Structures are given as C-alpha cells and as structure tokens.
C-alpha cells in the first residue's frame, strides 16, 4: 500500500468534551438574561381596551407591567380616528392626572404613570379632547397581589448555580488528588 507520508499514531484522537462545570457556568451566566424582569412601560404593554368609542375617537388602553401588581403602573392610550389607523395628534388626554406624549416612549401614545397602593379591582377612566370634540372611556382592571421578585429569584438561582459548580469542582479536584496518591 502506498504511503502518503502521514502516519497514524497509536493513540486515539482526543476530542475534548464539554465539562459539566463549564456547562453549569454557561447556564449560570445566561440564566439572568433569560428571566424577564417586569417594568412599568406600557407603550405597547398589555391591551386592556381595544378601539373603544370615546366620543369622536377610538381609544385603546394599554397597561404595564403585566400582570398588574401593586406599585408603579404605566397606562398608555392610543387615540385614533374611528374606522381608521390614523393617530389623533394634539389631543388632550386626562387619566386622573394628565397623560402626555412626553411621558410615552412610543410617541404615538399618550402615557401616564401611577402607583396602585393595593390589589383589587381598579377602574381606569380617561377623557380625550381635541379638535373633533371630547369623549370619555373607561375600563376595569384586576390588580393582583405583589408578584414574585423575579430579579431576586434570578440572582438567587445564579448564586446557587455558581455554588453548586464550585462544590462540584472541589469534589472533582479532591477525587483527582486521591487518584494521584493511590496511583489509580
């Protein structure tokens, strides 16, 4: 058989396998990014009322965070012409406080921030006024109890994963030292 100048060594090729400690470390570092931390930014949050008639306007109401819990809440309103996707510009929107475009991250919305002190049923009422006239719209929303502290849970799970990875690595090192001493 002709030789090509390449010889195979007697040892099998060693392909490194991912170690469980490395996998745990990757999981620990990616877990916090996989957990969504709710915030108060409703401009495009949960739709609570869709294109409801408010005088000469069609108003959609959005809230955030989702699900609603006691604490900071953002309410966003999208004011449109009925039967159209045209957004009404320059309207005056009041939600027991003034909703403005300056507060909104998406400038198509009018937004207002509130603090809901406790769980229960709350009513969101808004008055919209503009060149075409004035209209009122309202909707009830359920506010649940305070939710799980997602940020703290993510941090606790990260720390627990790192502690497990460190313990596992220490056990492996200990076993390795014992094998070296005994010659196994």
Structure confidence by residue, pLDDT tens digits, 21-39: 666 666 656 655 555 444 4
Q: Look up residue 158 and give its two tokens.
A: 């990260």
Q: Record the pTM.
A: 0.56
pLDDT, one tens digit per residue, over 70-101 is 889 888 899 999 998 899 988 888 887 666 77
Homologous superfamily (CATH) for 46-143: Immunoglobulins (2.60.40.10)
Q: Residue 128: what are its φ and ψ, rounded to 5°?
A: -115, 130
pLDDT on residue 34: 55
The tokens describing 74, both together, are 């953002």
CA distance 164 to 31: 15
pLDDT (tens digit per residue) in 9-24: 555 555 666 666 666 6
Please report where in the chains the tokens 């306007």 appear, as a residue. Answer: 57
List Cβ neighbours of 136 (8 Å cut-off, separation of 6 or more).
54, 55, 125, 126, 127, 128
Which stretch of DSSP H or E encloses residue 175?
helix 150-182
Return the pLDDT at 148.
58
Mean pLDDT of 139-166: 77
Residue scoring higher pLDDT (41 or 60): 60
Query: What are the tokens at 37?
Result: 């931390």
Alpha helices in 39-183 (DSSP H): 150-182
As a whole number, the mean pLDDT across the chain is 78
113 near 95, Cβ under 8 Å?
A: no
Give me the residue label for tokens 């603090």: 115
Q: How far apart are the first and last CA of the chain?
A: 41
| Cβ atoms of residues 99 and 73 within 8 Å | no
As beta bridge partners, residue 31 has: none
């Amino acid at each position: 058989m002709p030789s090509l100048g390449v010889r195979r060594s007697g040892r099998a090729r060693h392909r490194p396998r991912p170690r469980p400690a490395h996998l745990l470390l990757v999981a620990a570092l990616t877990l916090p990014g996989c957990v969504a931390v709710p915030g108060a930014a409703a401009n495009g949050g949960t739709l609570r009322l869709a294109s409801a008639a408010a005088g000469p306007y069609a108003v959609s109401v959005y809230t955030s965070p989702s699900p609603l819990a006691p604490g900071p809440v953002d309410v966003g309103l999208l004011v449109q012409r009925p039967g159209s996707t045209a957004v009404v510009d320059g309207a005056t929107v009041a939600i027991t406080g003034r909703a403005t475009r300056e507060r909104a991250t998406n400038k198509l919305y009018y937004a207002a921030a509130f603090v809901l002190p406790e769980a229960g049923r709350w009513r969101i009422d808004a008055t919209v006024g503009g060149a075409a006239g004035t209209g009122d719209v309202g909707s009830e929303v359920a506010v649940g109890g305070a939710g799980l502290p997602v940020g703290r849970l993510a941090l606790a799970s990260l720390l627990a994963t790192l502690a497990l990875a460190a313990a596992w690595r220490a056990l492996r090192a200990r076993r390795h030292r014992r094998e070296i001493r005994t010659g196994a």
